[in-house]
Structures are given as structure tokens and as C-alpha cells.
Amino acid sequence: MQRRDILWILAAVCALAALVMVQFSSMATVATSSWGLSFRQEGTPPVGPANASTLKKYDAAYLGDTGQKILYLTFDAGYENGCTAKILDVLKAHNAPAAFFLVGNYIERNADLVRRMVAEGHTVGNHTMHHYDMSKLGTMEAFSKELTDLEALFKEVTGKDLPKYYRPPQGIYSQENLEMAQKLGYKTVFWSLAYVDWKQDDQPTKEAAFAKLLPRVHNGAVLLLHSTSQTNAEILDELLTKYEEMGYRFGSIETLFSQEKG
């Protein structure tokens, strides 16, 4: 083998190695996480995949001020099955503000309910147009379209601008997603208290719901509930009453970011 051929082979090997390194580096920058919680002690805030101070850099939060007995009620809604009107009735009776994170088809098919949410002082947040895994949308253009299309639809239905609060579908996110949302003017809202309430063919009992939602409640908790849950619709009045008896009051999502610490 001639010396020139050997040099060409070495150059090709080096180029291939460099390409592999770039690919691995690119994979690292788009690493994704799924929001999950570890409860270490009842009545205290759980540990999340990212802490409050890290999230704050991206205008994101999962927890309010742990020095105050304030709870933040949030509901995710991918579709409507008759539970939301009752939930709104209960919220009104308790004078409790909530945030509803909606997807495109919900707004399209339930305009009256969406307008009612707004009229009764609740916040409608952006759960994206199609509920995709947003961490797989690698460009700002694709990510932005999922949010801005929902903004336009909300404006068409309500005549108002959509508040800039974003919840990643399925809780899946990446650092790049947080940065993109921030650049679009959004605050990303995770949660510090939830339970398995979304399985329509396996709804939890009242007792099972209370076993999760009462002992684990904590100061500054951001509750994630699904408005499709029949259990939630049935227990919400009693649940909020119990929270009130424990000394909690309910804050709007707008105040979350002025109250969160860390």
C-alpha cells in the first residue's frame, strides 16, 4: 500500500470519528426528561427532575412559595366528556381560580366552555395545538407553530389574547424546549402534586384519590388534575373544602411566578 493511500485512509477515519463525536454531542444537547416526582415525606414538597432555581432560569416553575399556605389548581384537558361544567361550578362556589391547559381540538369543539372559563376569571394556558411530544420538534419554527396556532384559535373563539403559560404535553420536555418557550414569552408550568386520574376505564375511587391528594399536599403546591376525570368532578367540592379546613387558600397561576421561591 502506497504512503498516499495510507494518508487517505487515516484522513477518512479521522473524519468519521469527528462526525460520530458531533452526532453524540448533538444527542446530548437534545436530551429529554419526563416530569416526575419523588415524595420523600408527607406534607412536604416533592423532589422533581429539576429544582426550582434551575427552572427559574427558563421562566419555569413547579412549586410556589413553600412559606405560604397557597395552592394552585390546574387542569389539563385534551377532550370534553361532560365533567368540566361541574368542575367550574365547584370552583365558582369556592371562589377558587384555576388554570386550564387546553389543546386545539378542545377549543374547537367546546367554545362555550372555553368562554365560560375566561368569563369566570380562570386562566386558559397553552397545552399545544396537537399534544405532540414537543421534545421531538427540533426547530424553533415547528415548536413555535404548535403554540402560536393555539393562540390564534383561542383569539378566534374568545376575542382575547391567550395568556402566556405553557404546559408540555405528557410532561415531556428538554432544555431546548424550555428555552424556546421562554423566547416566545411563555412561562412553563409543571406541577408538584398529581395522581393517576386520566384512565377513563380505570377511574380511582374517592378513597384512593383522597389517599394521594390529602397527605401529600404542601405549601405552594401546584396541583395537576384532569378535567376528564369523573372522580375529580365528584370529589372536587369535598377536596377543596378539606384543603380550606387545613388552612389553605387558592392562588391564580399569574401569582405563582411572583410567589415561587428557590
Is 201 one of the catalytic residues? no
The residue from 76, 94, 197, 218 that is catalytic is: 76
For 109-131, b where at least 16 C-beta lie within 10 A, e where not — what string? ebeebbeebbeeebbbbbbbbeb
The residue from 94, 122, 127, 226 that is catalytic is: 226
CA atoms within 13 A on the CB side of 196: 8
Judged by average pLDDT, the poorest of 8-22, 56-70, 87-101, 114-128 is 8-22
CATH code that applies to domain 52-259: 3.20.20.370
- Rounded Cα distance, 21 and 35, in Å: 29
Is the pTM higher than 0.75? The answer reads: yes
Query: At 233, which amino acid appears?
Result: A
What are the tens digits of pLDDT across the range 51-110? 999 999 999 999 999 999 999 999 999 999 999 999 999 999 999 999 999 999 999 999
171 and 165 Cβ atoms separated by less than 8 Å? no
- Rounded Cα distance, 72 and 250, in Å: 6
- Rounded Cα distance, 125 and 140, in Å: 20
Residue 32's pLDDT is: 87
188 and 52 Cβ atoms separated by less than 8 Å? no
Is 59 one of the catalytic residues? no
- Rounded Cα distance, 93 and 66, in Å: 26
165 and 99 Cβ atoms separated by less than 8 Å? yes
User: Helices 84-93 & 230-245, crossing angle to 10 degrees?
Assistant: 10
The rounded percent of the chain whose pLDDT value lies above 90 is 85
Which is nearest to 200 in space by CA: 233, 155, 241, 173?
233
CA atoms within 13 A on the CB side of 255: 15
The yes-or-no verdict on residue 248 having pLDDT over 70 is yes
Determine the average pLDDT of the residues in 248-253. Answer: 98
The yes-or-no verdict on residue 22 having pLDDT over 90 is no
Give how far Cα 112 sits from Cα of 103, 108, 157, 206, Å: 15, 10, 9, 29
- Rounded Cα distance, 210 and 195, in Å: 10
What are the tens digits of pLDDT across the range 191-207? 999 999 999 999 999 99
261: pLDDT confidence band, cut at 50, 70 and 90? low
The rounded percent of the chain whose pLDDT value lies above 70 is 87
- Bridge partners of 82? none
